[in-house]
């Protein structure tokens, strides 16, 4: 059997064709999988489990159908949907994993991350991340009316786009928003694994580098802005593919 890994779908109402592609993926290939891992940014934004959007309802229903059919669904928070809580997870039939997590994958320990914590050169983002992961900040945010949270999410998205535009104009976009080699090496050393799977950077690839005299493999999942991206892993190896 095959274990599937995806991330960075960024589902929202503005790109219904991608939501439909995700639905077809769940109804077809994922039904025969040993497990499905979603490593963050399933949604473009998440303002709380009381989100009334049709996209959220569609995703919860399809994931619940998949889980009920026998495919376990594991979810890790991303930088866009870190407020997904146990209420939504229960509706969707998925289990929330901490970031990072080490799993046993066909007899081998593999480190899973969303990937944003590896981008340590993006100081402004790391400061924002520290603020928004604070439980007090999250409690205060979720206590606000739905309209206020929607407005904040819109403002945060615009600020992120402006930040990235500024980096692009400075010519530092490719380096600042990618993982820092030292952070990657530290993750391998801390967890003692030879394989890391993550998303976030939207740079799908398989990288092999030596850390402490051992070859280590880092698999980067692709985003779903224009097409799908899936990592298929079985006992024979892995394949990083796109979905039309």
pLDDT digits (tens, 9 = 90+) for 170-203: 665 566 689 999 999 999 999 999 999 999 999 9
Instruction: Please give the biggest Cα pair distance in the chain.
Output: 53
Scored b (16 or more CB within 10 A) or e, 206-230 reads: eeeeebeeeebbbbbbbbbeeebbb
pLDDT at 158: 79
**Cα(83)–Cα(172) distance, integer angstroms:** 29
**Cα(139)–Cα(144) distance, integer angstroms:** 9
Chain position carrying tokens 């980067």 = 220
Helices (H), the chain: 16-27, 54-68, 86-92, 123-132, 135-142, 146-170, 173-176, 181-191
Q: Which CATH class is domain 3-243?
A: alpha beta
Nearest to 113 by CA among 97, 131, 126, 124: 97
Residues paired with residue 95 on neighbouring β-strands, in sequence order? 74
pLDDT at 162: 72
pTM of the entire structure? 0.94
Spans in the chain with pLDDT lower than 50: none
What pLDDT digit, counting tens, does each position of 71-87 carry? 999 999 999 999 999 99
**CB of 240 closer than 8 Å to CB of 222:** yes
Count the helices and strands in the chain (H runs, E runs).
8, 11
Residue 143 burial (10 A CB sphere; 0-12, 13-18, 19+): exposed
């Amino acid at each position: 059997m095959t274990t599937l890994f995806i991330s960075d779908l960024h589902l929202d109402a503005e790109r219904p064709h991608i939501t439909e592609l995700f639905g077809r993926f769940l109804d077809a290939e994922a039904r025969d999988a040993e497990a499905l891992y979603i490593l963050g940014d399933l949604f473009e934004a998440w303002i709380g489990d009381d989100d009334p959007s049709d996209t959220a309802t569609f995703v919860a229903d399809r994931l619940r159908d998949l889980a009920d059919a026998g495919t376990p669904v594991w979810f890790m928070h991303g930088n866009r949907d870190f407020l997904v809580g146990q209420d939504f997870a229960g509706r969707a039939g998925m289990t929330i994993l901490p970031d990072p997590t080490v799993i046993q994958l066909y007899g081998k320990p593999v480190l899973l991350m969303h990937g944003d914590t590896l981008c340590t050169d993006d100081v402004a983002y790391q400061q924002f991340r520290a603020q928004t992961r604070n439980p007090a900040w999250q409690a205060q945010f979720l206590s606000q009316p739905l309209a206020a949270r929607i407005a904040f999410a819109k403002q945060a998205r615009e600020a992120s786009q402006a930040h990235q535009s500024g980096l692009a104009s400075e010519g530092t976009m490719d380096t600042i928003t990618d993982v820092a080699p030292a952070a990657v090496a530290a993750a391998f050393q801390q967890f003692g694994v030879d394989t890391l799977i993550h998303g976030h950077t939207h740079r799908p690839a398989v990288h092999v580098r030596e850390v402490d005299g051992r070859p280590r493999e880092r698999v980067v999942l692709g985003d779903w802005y224009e097409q799908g991206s899936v990592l298929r892993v079985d006992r024979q190896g892995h394949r990083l593919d796109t979905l039309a």
